[in-house]
Amino acid sequence: MSLIGDVASKEICDGRKSLDEFRDIHLRRWSKFAEQALLNDNIYIFECAFLQNHIFELLGVYEKSDEEIYLYLKSLLETVKSLSPSIVYIEPSSVEDIIIQAANESKSPEGSRPDWIDEVANWVSNVNFGKSHNLKGIEGVFYFCKERLRIDKLMIEKLNVPVTIIKR
């Protein structure tokens, strides 16, 4: 098996696993991480690993409600509470501006592959949430990301974890 094939066979996102399997795998991974992290005094920083990645899946693929997303994230936090986690959240002033900036910075060289924004738009339009809301193109990306931002803010309010918000 090729390296790409081997890595792809371990992928659990984009609906490759049922929601129960997705949840169980993450709970096991987070619990195992917490057990190992307690053995040292390191500080760990994870980008996108708590809110963004999980909300993308829970909203986009599984179309879960705010309450279901909250309960899922709360269960993840429980696995690492002994580590005293906190969230540093970078809040965009404009979803559209941030996406356009990222799109401009993430263009593929000479059409060697689709541009980042085209791949994101394709993902948004083809996941269950995107299909249910008829999301297409960059406008669909804006809509989805604004919804994710709304959920991010709600989760930050509801979850009992220290939060530092940095406005961008």
Cα separation of 143 and 95, whole Å? 9
Determine the angle formed by the axes of helices 95-105 and 137-158, rounding to 10 degrees: 120
Domain region containing 155: 3-167
DSSP state of 57: I
Report the pLDDT value the prediction gives residue 3, as an integer from 0 to 100. 80
How many domains, in total, are found in the chain? Answer: 1
Report the pLDDT value the prediction gives residue 1, as an integer from 0 to 100. 64
Render each residue's pLDDT in the chain as its tens digit; 168 residues: 688 778 778 889 999 999 999 999 999 999 999 999 999 999 999 888 899 999 999 999 999 999 999 999 999 999 999 999 999 999 999 999 999 999 999 999 887 899 999 999 999 999 999 999 999 999 999 999 999 999 999 999 999 999 999 998
Report the pLDDT value the prediction gives residue 98, as an integer from 0 to 100. 96
pTM of the model: 0.91
Listed residue (129, 123, 147, 132) closest to 52, CA to CA: 147
Contacts of 158 (CB under 8 A, 6+ apart): 70
Mean of pLDDT over the chain? 94
Report the pLDDT value the prediction gives residue 4, as an integer from 0 to 100. 77
